[in-house]
Structures are given as structure tokens and as C-alpha cells.
Amino acid sequence: MTKGPWPQQPPARTAPVTTEPLLTRDYDADPALVHEKLRKIYGPVAPVDLLGVPVWFVMGYEEVLRVLQNPGGAWSKRLRNWKMNAEGRIPADWPLMPIFQVNNSTFQEGAALNQLRHAWTSALAPFQDHGHPGAQRLEQAVVSHADELLGVLSEGGTTGWADLAAQYARPLPLMVANRMLGLTAARGEDVVMDIWRMLDAGPDAAAAFERLYAAMTELGAAKRETPGDDLPSHMIAAKPDITLDELARELLMLPGLLDFTASLVCNVVVEVVANPDVRESLSAGAIDETVNRAALLNPPMANLTFRYALTDVKLGNFTIPAGDPVMLSVAAAHADPRFAGAIDWHAIRSTRAHLAWGAGPHSCLGQLLATRIATIAVQRLFKRFSKVKLALPADQLPWRPSPFMRALRSLPVQYELAREPAPPGDPATGEAPAAQASPADEPAGKPSRSPLWSFLRGLRRAR
Ligand code: HEM
């Protein structure tokens, strides 16, 4: 591996009195350039200002991995260990505070974390463990939902324009979320619309969050009473003492996690469209590889929620004082010359040693599911369309400004429908949907009547 720009063991420094804001227009346009600038000035760890709050931004691969793995227990995820917050020095209206106050498993440690992770692992198994009949049913449902969405998107004609983010990649995982939550079709639609309001952080986001929290609590109570084959029921079975409040906070993670999946779908589509070799052979294996490559090049969870130093810790060229927060940048770590420089970019199989799924005690528990959804979404898209062309050069695609995500705001394409007969599960053919009927599938049967499908139809732009 190549050495960084620093001489051997530079003396540890303390933070400068003033720091540069991280989230500038330059960052929205091209975070990689900002990372490189910071890396040149400070090395693998840089002091930055995150919306008015001082934070250590960690960009070195080894440093990010070390904090994630937390071998000596030097780092905590608990908000109470953030000194500035404990001292009341974080502005009450700091926009990211609601995320840190949710107090779900993301911010737990020790036994509490282990119990919640056990509940997640057991509850996700029926949906993602290969060979599980539930996982196969879910895969069929993803195929079916993908085909429905593509059917609506292309209703206007054999050629046209589409925004694959809004019309395909974002709704698809949310339909999966509804199904996994075991919501009825009508309730599921309200929930999907509220999830969009919450994730888009518009003026009605707070009210949408309140409604979602109430809906998840109500759902948890109903599933405790009458369990089904769904995520909340499996979580209750795995952790019978889980309170309705705890359960609601865990379930509220699902839409966000599936929105990361949506951004992965978009990033993979861009990779496929931009790379004729990949386009040539769209076997499951080739897409799987492209999913990994997209996660490596543009990790959807670009920066992670904070960890707090429990003692003074030497990291990069600084000593991080106890009680200070670090924000680990997976995106910057992947571009760290010590990591990126050692990768063979021409290898048929890209490295799996990346950090897009995290590592250590908080590593991702839904990687299989997210990868499967992304693979199916991309396969169905290229089966249905014989041509997909970006409507903008790849380097001009608009990204959503966000401290945590690397997600396209829209993915405008020109498409041409394939001539071959419509695939099974497509409502346009009248063929039976591939998935077995369940309450969460009801919108598939009557797309014309529901508000969600009317909304999606409103986005069509046929030529
Ligand atoms: C492309 C989509 C996804 C990406 C890139 C992703 C990535 C990650 C990463 C990087 C973490 C670690 C966060 C940290 O250490 O601070 C994480 C945690 C987690 N992920 Fe995923 N994830 C995705 C989708 C999903 C899905 C679909 C599920 C489940 C339905 C899921 C379940 C979880 C859970 C439960 C955790 C929290 C574990 C904990 O805090 O102990 N993820 N994910």
C-alpha cells in the first residue's frame, strides 16, 4: 500500500480553533474532491464543522475500520457520551438532532444491542436467508412489484422518458417494506406516502414522522395480539419482552434502510448503462458483481452516525479528546489511496473488503436482502427495456444533498421497450402475478384505483 502524505509518526495535534464547514455546495456537487482537499491538509482525520457543530471527519480506510471494529471499546454510540451535548452546547434546533435522538439499536451497546440485533437477525431470516420459503416468496413479490412499476411507467408508449429514481427505484423497496411489515394494502399506501414525506425532510416531515410512529405502535400491538408471517411478529417472537415503543423505533428504521436500497438500485443502473461490458451479460452473477462495484464506488450510506471517544484517542494526526464525536466516512475511506491504490480495478471480481455494509458490532444485518432487491430490480428493468440511455451525462446527474446518503435526486433516462412478450407477473398481460397473494400485494391487482398508483401515473412522461 502507498504511504500517506505525512512523515513518519507526526506529533498528535489538537483541533484548530475554527474549522471549515463540510456540507458546502462543492460537497453536494462532488464530495470526493472535498475529501481529497481535506486529506491533503489534515491527513486521514479532519476537524470539520457539520451544520454549525464541530465533528472529526474520518477518511482513512484503516482509521474507519478501527473505529468500526472498536477493539478496545474506546468508542461509544450512546448520545449521552457526547460532551458538548451533555453540556447543553448543541443548538436546540440543530437539524440532525432528531436522527440521534431516535434511540433505536443504532445507538445502543452491550447487552441491549445484542438483544436487538438478535431480534433483527431472526426476524430478517425468513425474508433473506437463501433457501427459506419466505425468502423465495419475497423474491417473487419483488419481481411482481418491479414489473407492475415498469408497466405503469411505460404505459404511454414503446419509447419515452422516465425518472427511474422516482418512478421505479424508490417505490419498489417501499413496497417491499409494506409487505415485510405485514400492512394491509390501504394502510400500506398511507404509510408509503408518509415515509416519502419523512425521508424528503420537507415541511410536513415532522407530522409524517408522528403518524408513522403511531402507525408502527398500532401495528406492533396488533401483531402481538395476532401474529403473522411478518417482520414485527418475528421480532416479537425473538424478543418477547420488547416494548411497543422499542418495537416501533426499530420498525421505523426499515423505510430508511430500504431508501438506501433505492439509491443502490440507481447507482447500479448507472453502472450498467455506462458500462457496455456489463450490459452484454446481465446474468445474476454479473449483476451481483455490479452491485458490489457500485457499493464500492458510491456507497449509499456514505457517512455514518457518530461515535464518541470515551477517552482521549490518537486517530490519524490528532488526539481526539474524550467526549468528542467522529463521523466515519465510508465514501472517503474507499477513496483512501492506501486502500484504493491497492485495488486491481480491472479484476473481474471487485474487492469485498470494502466498508459499504459497515463492520464490527453495528455491521449491516440486511445486506443479503438489499443486494437481492437491487439485483432483481436491475434484472427486471433490462428485461423489460431493450434500450436505456441516460438523459444527462453521468457526471451531471443530480445528487440529493445529505450528510449521510449518496443518492441520486433523479435518474432521467430515455427508454425503449423490449419487443419480446411481457414477462410473467406483469399486470399488463393479465397473467397471474408471480408472487402469492397477500394483503400487501393488493395494490398490484387494482393499480388504477389507488392513490399511490395515481401518484406514480402522474409522474409518467411518455414521448
Ligand atoms: C443498500 C442498502 C443498505 C446499505 C448500504 C446498508 C449499510 C449499512 C451500514 C453501513 C450499517 C452500519 C452503520 C454503522 O455502523 O453506523 C448498517 C446497519 C444496519 N443495517 Fe444496513 N444497509 C442497507 C440496507 C439494509 C436493509 C434493507 C436492512 C434490513 C431490512 C438493513 C439492516 C441494518 C440494520 C438492522 C443495521 C443496524 C445494525 C446495528 O446498529 O447494530 N440494512 N447498514
Q: What is the pLDDT of residues 40-71, one digit of tens each?
A: 999 999 999 999 999 999 999 999 999 999 99
DSSP structure class, residue 169 = I
420, burial (CB in 10 Å: exposed 0-12, middle 13-18, buried 19+)? exposed
Q: Which residue lies with its CA nearest to atom 38 of ligand 1? A: 362
Q: Cα torsion at 342, 263, 277, 381 (round to 10°)?
A: 160
The whole-number average pLDDT for the span 204-226 is 90
What's residue 106's pLDDT? 96
Instruction: List the beta strands (DSSP E) in 311-396.
Output: 313-315, 318-320, 325-328, 385-390
Could you give the CA distance from residue 331 to residue 299 in angstroms, rounded to a whole number? 6
Query: Which pLDDT band holds residue 430 (cuts at 50, 70, 90)?
Result: very low
Which atom of ligand 1 is nearest to 254's Cα? 30
Query: Which pLDDT band holds residue 286 (cuts at 50, 70, 90)?
Result: confident
In this structure, the residues whose C-beta lies within 6 A of any atom of ligand 1 are 105-106, 113, 117, 120, 124, 254, 257-258, 260-261, 264, 300-301, 304-305, 356-358, 362-366, 369-370
What's residue 410's pLDDT? 95
CA nearest neighbour of 435 among 136, 18, 223 = 136
What's residue 47's pLDDT? 97
Enter the C-alpha cell of residue 453.
398508483
Non-local CB neighbours of 111 within 8 Å, separated by 6+ positions:
none
What's residue 400's pLDDT? 86
Q: Which residue lies with its CA nearest to atom 21 of ligand 1? A: 364
Output the CA 210–ligand 1 centroid distance in Å: 23
Could you give the CA distance from residue 111 to residue 117 in angstroms, rounded to a whole number? 10
Output the CA 2–ligand 1 centroid distance in Å: 30
Query: Which pLDDT band holds residue 442 (cuts at 50, 70, 90)?
Result: very low
pLDDT higher for 449 or 357?
357
Contact of 300 with 405, CB cutoff 8 Å = yes
Contact of 34 with 338, CB cutoff 8 Å = no
Where along the chain do its domains lie? 20-462
Could you give the CA distance from residue 289 to residue 406 in angstroms, rounded to a whole number? 19
Q: Which CATH class is domain 20-462?
A: mainly alpha
CA nearest neighbour of 453 among 156, 190, 152 = 152
Enter the C-alpha cell of residue 9.
509518526
Roughly what angle, to the nearest 10 degrees, separates helices 231-238 and 110-128? 140
Contact of 231 with 258, CB cutoff 8 Å = no
What's residue 461's pLDDT? 65
pLDDT digits (tens, 9 = 90+) for 217-271: 999 999 999 999 999 999 999 999 999 999 999 999 988 898 899 999 999 999 8
Bridge-based pairing state of the strands 45-50 and 307-309:
unpaired
Rg (CA), the chain: 22
Question: For the ranges 188-202, 346-360, 407-421, 428-442, which has the lowest average pLDDT?
Answer: 428-442
pLDDT higher for 437 or 96?
96
Which atom of ligand 1 is nearest to 369's Cα? 27
DSSP structure class, residue 16 = -
Is 102's pLDDT higher than 60?
yes
What's residue 259's pLDDT? 87
3-state secondary structure of 49: strand
The whole-number average pLDDT for the span 110-121 is 97
Roughly what angle, to the nearest 10 degrees, separates helices 244-251 and 205-225? 120
Q: Which residue lies with its CA nearest to atom 30 of ligand 1? A: 366
Q: Cα torsion at 91, 92, 96, 102 (round to 10°)?
A: 140
Which atom of ligand 1 is nearest to 116's Cα? 41
DSSP bridge partners of 48: 20, 55
Query: Which pLDDT band holds residue 6 (cuts at 50, 70, 90)?
Result: very low
User: Mean pLDDT, the chain, as a whole number?
Assistant: 86
Question: For the ranges 206-220, 237-251, 449-463, which has the lowest average pLDDT?
Answer: 449-463
Winning range, highest mean pLDDT, from 74-83, 253-262, 267-276: 74-83
Output the CA 313–ligand 1 centroid distance in Å: 26
What's residue 28's pLDDT? 87
CA nearest neighbour of 407 among 165, 205, 194, 202 = 165
Output the CA 367–ligand 1 centroid distance in Å: 7
Which atom of ligand 1 is nearest to 105's Cα? 40
Contact of 66 with 333, CB cutoff 8 Å = no
Pocket test for ligand 1, best of 67, 195, 365 (most atoms within 8 A of CB): 365
pLDDT higher for 361 or 28?
361
Q: Which residue lies with its CA nearest to atom 23 of ligand 1? A: 257
Is 425's pLDDT higher than 70?
no
Which atom of ligand 1 is nearest to 258's Cα? 27
**Neighbour tally for 1: CB within 10 Å:** 12
Output the CA 132–ligand 1 centroid distance in Å: 21
Output the CA 149–ligand 1 centroid distance in Å: 25
The whole-number average pLDDT for the span 21-28 is 91
Which atom of ligand 1 is nearest to 180's Cα? 30
Query: Which pLDDT band holds residue 402 (cuts at 50, 70, 90)?
Result: confident
What's residue 436's pLDDT? 42
Which atom of ligand 1 is nearest to 250's Cα? 35
DSSP bridge partners of 399: 408
Query: Which pLDDT band holds residue 146 (cuts at 50, 70, 90)?
Result: very high
Q: Which amino acid is at 208?
A: A
Contact of 381 with 279, CB cutoff 8 Å = no
pLDDT higher for 267 or 402?
267
Pocket test for ligand 1, best of 67, 364, 378 (most atoms within 8 A of CB): 364
Is 316's pLDDT higher than 60?
yes
Is 438's pLDDT higher than 50?
no
Could you give the CA distance from residue 356 to residue 328 in angstroms, rounded to a whole number? 11
Q: What are phi and psi of 120, to 5 degrees?
A: -65, -45
